């Protein structure tokens, strides 16, 4: 019985060592896999940040007043109005019209060339 018990004990020890080795290798492979995933995500983040930077630059270029004015003049055949062509309209009782009136009053106060809205 003693020899049989020794074989069983040896088998249990070997099985335990093998299981521990397999678990260790499995954990190491998981760490490597996560390392690759982190590297890929970091690369994607950098790519997206660069794309975001380029898009913000494009937005600022597209919104540039000189570009808009040039497009209006070239494609839409628009010109700046003469001061006598500008008319300010008084708002009525509608809340949105009142907010527009406040904005036009601010503009008129900021630019005296716009004059009074009651003038012809």
Spatial distance between the Cα atoms of 103 and 84, rounded to a whole number of angstroms: 20
For 88-120, give one letter per residue: b (16+ CB within 10 A) or e. beebeeeeeeeeebeebeeebeeeeebeeeeee
pLDDT digits (tens, 9 = 90+) for 54-100: 999 999 999 999 999 999 999 999 999 999 999 888 766 666 655 55
Residues 6+ apart with CB under 8 A from 29: none
CB 80 within 8 A of CB 68: no
pLDDT at 41 over 50: yes
Percent of the chain with pLDDT over 70: 74
């Amino acid at each position: 019985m003693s020899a049989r018990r020794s074989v069983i004990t040896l088998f249990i020890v070997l099985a335990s060592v093998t299981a521990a080795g397999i678990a260790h290798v499995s954990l190491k492979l998981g760490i490597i896999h996560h390392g690759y995933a982190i590297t890929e995500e970091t690369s994607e983040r950098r790519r997206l940040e660069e794309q975001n930077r380029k898009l913000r630059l494009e937005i600022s270029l597209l919104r540039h007043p000189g570009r808009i004015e040039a497009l209006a003049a070239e494609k839409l055949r628009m010109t700046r109005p003469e001061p006598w062509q500008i008319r300010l309209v008084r708002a009525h009782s509608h809340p949105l019209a009142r907010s527009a009136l406040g904005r036009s009053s601010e503009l008129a106060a900021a630019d005296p060339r716009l004059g009074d809205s009651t003038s012809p």
